[in-house]
Amino acid sequence: MAAYTAYPNAWGDVGILNASGPVETKGHPFFEPIGTNGRACVTCHQPANGMSVSVAAIRERWQVTKGKDPIFAAIDGTNCPDLPPEDPQSHSLLLERGLIRVSMPWPPRRDDGSAVEPEFSIEVVRDPGGCNVSPRYGLRSAAPAVSVYRRPRPVANTKYFTHQGFGVSPFVGKGPIATARDPETGRPTSMNMMADARVSTLKTQAVSAMQTHLQVTGPIDAARLQQLVDFESQIYSAQSNHRVAGNLMEPNGPSGLGVRNLASGDAGVLGNNTTQWVFPVGDVWKSLPGGAAPRDVERNQMRESIARGHDVFMFRTFWIKDVQHLNTVGLGNPTKRTCSTCHGMHMTGMDVANGWMDLGVTNLPWAREEPLNPWNERKPQMPLFKITCKATAAPHAFLGRVIYTQDPGRALVTGRCADVGSIVMQQFRGLAARAPYFSNGSAETLRDLVDFYDRRFNIGYSVQEREDLINFLSSL
Amino acid sequence: MTRHLRRSSVAGIALLASVSISAAPETHRNFVACPIVRDTSTVPCWLADYKGETYFLTLQTDVSAPVNPPQLGHKVLVEGVVSNEPRICGGTVLKPVVLSVLPELDSSCSTMLPAEERYNLTFEPPRPPGPSKGRLAFAPATPAPRPAPAPDVASKTFALQFDFDSAIAFRHAGQLQQIHEFARQSKAARIEITAYRAASLLSDDSVFTEREDIGQRRAEQVAAVLKDAGLTSVAYDVRWRDAAKPDGVNDAALRRAEVVVTR
């Protein structure tokens, strides 16, 4: 694997940078199958897809391999392992939304294996995949588990979400818990790696992924683990060429765009609006000459649009309302702020502190749910659970004690009612290469993503603002 | 379930047994109400109505502010002092003021008022609504000083204040860190935690009492998070009890936990 490679996508090219230089993939544990199902890490963390995997690439693999590619392994590449593997319907969540099954023990377990006494009960309202009602894999099986379905998160730009900087302390502000610590160093972690923050170091994540997704059965070699950590610590992904705006890595271009700028950025920094912007774009694209050729005019117009989109992200205020772990952490409900209020980490747009919150991606009433209609052939894709919290539990601040959700998120780790539907926010880099978006793949495109926020918070974006914001996101 | 009790009816309550209760001073306003958010041309104001008067509670600022705004969807317990400051956003200013978001949902608390010229702020708010061009939202954090060597004291007492009916919340992370740091540096052998359940004397002379198990919950949560943060080789003495009678003046301070860390 070269030190730098550009891979095409619908918006241009995503750049993958190995900051330590070329990587020999032969024999490398990231690239070669080390488990029993033929998968390697790269199966779901593809350079061409910004080190995640796009649903378009998954569908292509189904077509090319007739469903034999290891990504379709029964363990979690099907809606449930007891479904017939040759039937595409058995893989509908992977093929339609790019979702991998994640089986969470019920009740939740601590790292030492002891059970957490949950503050709520959970019942299955609907389960198109059948795994939550499966006698072998479901909630009433011998090893009770909740199956949820989530997008593989990008394995790139890891220094930003494993940082030890701003906001990392021994205690979490979002609940009565201590911060998860690195088992090797004892130091608190940022807990921003997984959708539910259930593991928080590259090494513990690698072990967990190998044991579950790769079905490694034997002991895990320490040298290989270190090789994985080393690789993941130096790989960067960002859009580096835009099909209309052109080269995003020009020497005098915006200092926050392109993969090389990303690689040299400072980790663990809360972005601001004067010195270390969340995404440093600056003024260089604010007002550009028309250009001589039509192509130049088009390019400069797109660059201006990206610059305006940055300002929409940074400065366009709206009412952020009813978000557990955002409106509950001292900001008030509602709070008149901007996208960058939550997406504040310099260079990635993640939360610089522990980044889980309930935006409404998986919890009703905001989660993507199409009202049923006998004349509509589309059926619900996601499972739906009813959560009933104990009267003694602190309720979810805005949904109370009875919550309908497609994925309880962080609550499947903590057992807390207030955590139902909370998901760790995701980084913004390489977006163009890895649709769909959100942990449950509910936004098929960047437009869907922006529209979700517009609906959720009644933002009222103008057509121009929406286009500019989409163009900005496509350039990251 | 209401826990408002008229003064005349509280004699049998263990919390207040054999203690007579005086009315809250006229300068104080202690009440439970729905918060109201009023937009302005800059940041929103938070208000609440009580007995025909509108009170200004706070502005939207930042999480580090001494007073955090309340939440629509929830009632708020207001414990404040009427000040002589000019009205803000049409409200009489309560200062100082302590706000407790009550945990249970209340869908009747939903009032958002639009910006009106007459209610715009007459001063620049501490921070704008989100970033503003050319001005830092807040000063960059100064580098954390190197941890001081453990002071040569046998023990140190820390106090945690709580919102009404609530246990550990967002703002406690920093205080817990101080306890953790002292215990670690001093190689603490013992941590005594005593948490209290309290009540608030409201301006209508009723007493608003916290849920019965809140003292226990506070004490056990503090112990649990300190253990989870690595203070496992320490002996814990965890207690909870009811606080002294409310007086309508210092009631917020009664909702507390004392943590004594001993070498």
- pLDDT per residue over B28-72, tens digit each? 999 999 999 999 999 999 999 999 999 999 999 888 888 999 999
Q: Which positions 181-200 of A are in contact with B (Cβ < 8 Å)?
A: 181, 186
Q: Is the per-residue pLDDT at B138 higher than 80?
A: no
Q: Where are the domains of chain B?
A: 34-119, 155-262
pLDDT 10s digits, B211-226? 999 999 999 999 999 9
Mean pLDDT of A209-223: 93
Query: Contacts of residue B89 in chain A, CB cutoff 8 Å?
Result: none
Average pLDDT (A202-210) is: 96
The residue type found at A30 is F
**Predicted confidence (pLDDT) at residue A371 exceeds the cutoff of 90:** no
- The amino acid that residue B104 corresponds to is E
Query: Which range, of A92-96, A216-220, A417-421, B191-195, averages the lowest pLDDT?
Result: A216-220
E runs forming strands in B70-144: 76-82, 92-101, 112-113
Interface contact B137, partner A, CB < 8 A: yes
**What is the pLDDT confidence band of residue A291, given thresholds at 50, 70 and 90?**
confident
Please say whether the beta carbons of A179 and A191 come within 8 A: yes
Q: Do B105 and A332 touch (CB under 8 A)?
A: no
The pLDDT score that the predictor gives to residue B139 is 53
Contacts with B73 from chain A: Cβ below 8 Å: 322, 333, 397-398
Nearest to B48 by CA among B90, B17, B18: B90
Q: Which phi and psi angles does B157 have, rounded to 5°?
A: -110, 135
Pairing verdict, β B53-59 and A4-9: unpaired
Kindly tell me the burial class for residue B232, based on how many C-beta atoms sit within 10 Å of its own C-beta (0-12, 13-18, 19 or more).
exposed
Matching CATH number, B155-262, of 3.30.70.260, 3.30.470.160, 3.40.50.300, 3.30.1330.60: 3.30.1330.60
Question: Average pLDDT in the A348-376 region?
Answer: 93
pLDDT of residue A177: 86
The H-or-E segment that residue A413 falls in is helix A411-414
Provide the 8-state DSSP code for A407. Answer: -
Name which residue leads in pLDDT, A193 or B21: A193
Q: Which residues contact B6 (CB under 8 A, 6 or more apart)?
A: B205, B206, B207
- Write down the mean pLDDT value for chain B: 88
Per-residue confidence at B18, pLDDT binned at 50, 70, 90? very low
User: How does the average pLDDT of chain A come out, rounded?
Assistant: 95
pLDDT higher than threshold 60 for residue A155: yes
CA distances from A148 to A109, A371, A386, B98 (A): 16, 21, 14, 41
Which residues are bridge partners to B30 per DSSP? B79
The 10 Å Cβ neighbour count of residue A220 is: 15
Name every residue whose Cβ is closer than 8 Å to that of residue A389 and which is 6 or more positions away in sequence: A119, A120, A395, A396, A400, A401, A402, A403, A417, A420
Residue B5: pLDDT band with limits 50, 70, 90: low
Q: Structure tokens of A299?
A: 């390019």
Read off the pLDDT of residues A9-67 as tens digits, 9 standing for 90 and up.
Answer: 999 999 999 999 999 999 999 999 999 999 999 999 999 999 999 999 999 999 999 99
What's the rounded mean pLDDT across residues B200-206? 96
The reply to whether A402 touches chain B by the CB within 8 Å rule is no
Verify whether the Cβ–Cβ distance A395 to B173 is below 8 Å: no
Q: What are phi and psi of A272, to 5 degrees?
A: -130, -165
pTM as predicted: 0.94
Q: Is B134 on the interface with A (CB under 8 A)?
A: yes
What pLDDT is recorded for position B65? 86
In this predicted model, what pLDDT tens digit does every residue of A94-128 receive, in sequence order? 999 999 999 999 999 998 899 999 999 999 999 99
- Residue B217 phi/psi, 5-degree rounding, is -60, -45
**Residues in chain B closer than 8 A to A169 (CB atoms):** 173-174, 177
Q: How confident is the model at residue B12 (pLDDT cuts 50, 70, 90)?
A: very low
Task: Tell me the one-letter amino acid at B7.
Answer: R
CB contact (8 A) between residue A319 and residue B112? yes
